[in-house]
Structure 1
């Protein structure tokens, strides 16, 4: 009997000992804002084939147009000895407006991964994660100042972390004199075709006293599924890049959604910042190529062939006026989608942003954007302006303004 009681006591106390060197942290962001747009579509094809609608709209969203969206997560770590640690992160996106889950209803849609970190050797992790473009280039960009209104058209280069990578294996180095690097590979999971739906990326960054620079490359095989189709509501056969719209619904991501039939997508991105006192000057460039169009015939309704290429160049100025107030402005120029002599589309966008900290955890913010479009979009139509995650305009111009509050916990 005594032996039995001793054994039961040992088993009961074992988890306590095992968790003595571990920790779990609950964290998150709760944010909401009101956004105004001067012109949005109600349908993609009205009289004469032109988009219909064009009215003004004001809407409440859960940070979709602000510097960051609402989320909550759990971070855990266990010390295994000699500085080696087990790490995990589970992160859920949600809407303050109605309590629904983000990322198409995916429970831990923002992140879900586990890994091991060792001093000098870095961190290896597996799960649903960010790619190298997000890890190294995105931190030097300006969404924190100008909000999600400032993303490149349809976030085609994923520098705003619109898309997460499923089934991935990632390595991230420690910092060596300010230099970091890493790579990610995602398994396609298609029997008999090892490369179908595969995804890989690599990148590096350097952060010095005043200068920071970063670069990345990503390559997606069958991007309609491997990059754009990773949420719970994604279609296995339909267009996950967006929609041409109809007589009863607006277009979605018209700058790229006509290229869903591509066999590959490759994106190269470079960004750099220079800090001068309280000011940060930034420049960035990205190039994306949708290659071998027509590889998925069912998505190639316009009978495209060849490669559609996008380039965006941008510059920004950010300034910390006081410890509590920050302001900034940026400009982006995108030229892309030239195919079969169409000339492609061009998007010019100005962004403004300001934030005022009420405390270390709470901030008021305001952002604004103006976009002008020209040329021919991915559906062979006259390009219309389309800012951030808003519905496209019916014309070549669109203005959007957003203001809200953000709290970190």
Structure 2
């Protein structure tokens, strides 16, 4: 009897050793003093704008967050994986992402070293997954100051994809590809509110290239937590500025993007292009506005603990004719800079800033207003944002 119990315990021990698991608590606190030269300030129904000084933990190089990730070895190069991550406002203790407790990403799946990973839940789209790393946001930094106006192409991942199934391949000699589908979940309309995403990247020595495509139907949901634009628990709409707020009734949202970086000694140079389309805007007679965005950037590593970066971004839209009125003929020029010094591997101090100039006619028919990274419309065509911050990763 004792021998049988001993054999059973040894067998249990071998299974435990084989099926190892790990759970990690992690996060980032990115807290800084931020100055906006012209933040939105509505008085008696008029946006008069005004200077704004805040202590901010949401709009830095990384939005502050915490999460739990884990993996269990299932044998045969296969593992069960999960990641639960939520944004936090360090100044108030509130959740970010419109009050969504785990609004950054929440998924579970299987990862095979040989065949790739399949994950299910609330996730990033594949334009973010494959193109963001080769934008200035990826290789320099700055989710707000280096973002495109109102983040119209989602390359700083303002939006997440609910109810999604994602596949990402293993690394095939530098080539990685993926596909993602979002299930709309609408009774009686299988494709309503659904979407799909594709992407791929290739790395070879100093060169990295990324490309991606997104298409989502009915992006503005009828209830909170539904639709790509309204996927947070408070239902806040991501079309926050006059640049695109009049396109809220679009029946579809589409982004195609491609970019590349090249490393030369201490420098990384990058170039990115994106095209964003709002399809069949019902309130404007079915027009389909289009935006083009071109970005160029440079990062320079002066020392292992210090680097700087600069990027220029140009965004344009040719506009549309709606009910006999010309709307949305807009142009945006933006320059952003960053200087980052690492005190240790997990703690750094940085300064970042951006200045933007807008021109033309907004989607609402008024003069185009500057809006850096979705912080809010300026009262005129100019806006600058400066930030001095401390970031700690744990």
Q: Distance in 2 between matches of 1:253 and 1:41?
A: 10
Q: Which has the higher strand share?
A: 2
> What is the alpha-carbon distance in structure 2 between the residues aligned to residue 396 and residue 266 of structure 1?
27
Q: Pick from 230, 238, 243: which aligns with 1:241? A: 238
Q: CA deviation at 1:389?
A: 3.2
Query: Which of residues 288, 303, 307 is equivalent to 1:322?
Result: 303
> Once the 2 structures are TM-superposed, how far is the Cα of residue 39 of structure 1 from its aligned partner?
1.5
Q: CA–CA distance in 1 between the matches of 2:100 and 2:379?
A: 32
Aligned to 2:57: 62
Which residue matches 1:309? 290
Q: Which of 394, 401, 404 pairs up with 2:379?
A: 394
1:53 Cα offset (Å): 2.5
Deviations along 1:167-190, one digit per CA (max 9) or x if unpaired, are: 100000010111000010000001
Report the TM-score, using the length of structure 2 for normalisation. Answer: 0.91
Structure-2 separation of matches of 1:183 and 1:146: 26
Q: Distance in 2 between matches of 1:205 and 1:220?
A: 22
Match of 2:224 in 1: none
Whether the 8 Å contact between 1:387 and 1:398 is mirrored in structure 2 is: yes
Find out whether 1:150 has 2:146 as its counterpart: yes
Partner of residue 391, structure 2: 406
Q: Which 4+ stretches in 1 moved above 3 angstroms?
A: 16-20
Q: Does 1:195 align with 2:191?
A: yes
1:249 equivalent in structure 2: none
Q: Indicate the residue corresponding to 1:232 in structure 2.
A: 233
Cα distance in 2, alignment partners of residues 176 and 190 from structure 1: 37
Q: Give 1:266's aligned residue.
A: 254
Question: Which range moved further: 333-342 or 211-220?
Answer: 333-342
Unaligned runs of 5+ in 2: 222-226
Per the alignment, residue 129 of structure 1 pairs with 123
Whether 1:290 aligns to 2:289 is no
SS at match of 1:196: coil
| Superimposed CA distance per residue, residues 234-292 of structure 1 (whole angstroms, 9 cap, x where no aligned partner) | 16xxxx234xxxxxxxxx32211110101111110001001100100000000011011
Contact 1:259 / 1:378 at 8 angstroms: preserved in 2?
A: yes
Q: Cα deviations across residues 87-143 of structure 1 (Å, max 9, x unaligned)?
A: 000001101111111111111111110000112210011101111011100011122
| Alpha-carbon distance in 2 for matches of 1:372, 1:108 | 35
Query: Across the two proteins, how many residue pairs are aligned to each other?
Result: 376
TM-score between both structures, scaled by the size of structure 1: 0.88
CA RMSD of aligned residues (A): 2.1
Deviation, 1:305, is 2.5
Deviations, residues 304-333 of structure 1 (Å, cap 9, x unaligned): 421100110010011111101110100000
Counterpart CA distance in 2 for 1:268 and 1:317 is 23
CA–CA distance in structure 2, aligned partners of residues 272 and 188 of structure 1: 32
Give the secondary structure class of the aligned counterpart of 2:366: coil
Name the residue aligned to 2:206: 210
Q: Counterparts of 1:391 and 1:231 in 2: how far apart (Å)? A: 18
Shift of 1:204: 0.1
d(CA) in 1 for partners of 2:113, 2:159: 30
Give the match for residue 88 of structure 1: 82
Q: What's the CA shift for 1:146?
A: 4.5
In the alignment, the residues of structure 2 paired with residue 392 and residue 292 of structure 1 have an alpha-carbon distance, to the nearest angstrom, of 25
Gaps of 5+ in 1: 243-251, 295-299
CA 1:135/1:44 → structure 2, altered by over 3 Å: closer, same or farther?
farther
